[in-house]
Amino acid sequence: MNIQETINKAANVLKKNNIVTAYLDSELLLSEVLKKDRSYVILNSKEILDKKCLYDFNNLIYRRSKGEPCAYLVNYKEFWKYKYFVNKDVLIPRPDTEVLIEETLKIYDEKKGLKVLDIGTGSGCLLISVLKERKNFSGIGIDISKKALKVANFNAKLQQLNNRVKFYNSDIDKFFIGKYDLILSNPPYIKNFDLKYLDRDIVNYEPKIALDGGSDGLSEITKVINKASSLVKKNGKFILEIGCYQKNEIVKKLKDKNFYINKIVKDYAKKDRCIISTKI
Which parts of this chain interact with ligand GLN (CB under 6 A)? 94, 186-190, 198, 202, 211
Least distance from C-beta 149 to ligand GLN, angstroms? 17
Least distance from C-beta 204 to ligand GLN, angstroms? 13
Among 270, 272, 232, residue whose Cα is nearest residue 116: 232
Least distance from C-beta 78 to ligand GLN, angstroms? 17
Least distance from C-beta 242 to ligand GLN, angstroms? 9
Least distance from C-beta 96 to ligand GLN, angstroms? 6
Q: Which is nearer to ligand GLN, 26 or 277 (CB)?
A: 277
Whether the Cβ atoms of residue 168 and residue 142 lie closer than 8 Å to each other: yes
Q: Which is nearer to ligand GLN, 90 or 128 (CB)?
A: 90
Residues, the chain = 280
Q: Which is nearer to ligand GLN, 61 or 276 (CB)?
A: 276
Q: Residue 65 to residues 11, 22, 61, 154, 249: CA-CA distances in angstroms?
A: 10, 9, 6, 29, 39
Q: Which is nearer to ligand GLN, 26 or 185 (CB)?
A: 185
Q: How large is the C-alpha radius of gyration of the chain?
A: 20
Q: Which is nearer to ligand GLN, 9 or 88 (CB)?
A: 88
248: Cβ–Cβ under 8 A, 6 or more apart, which residues? Answer: none
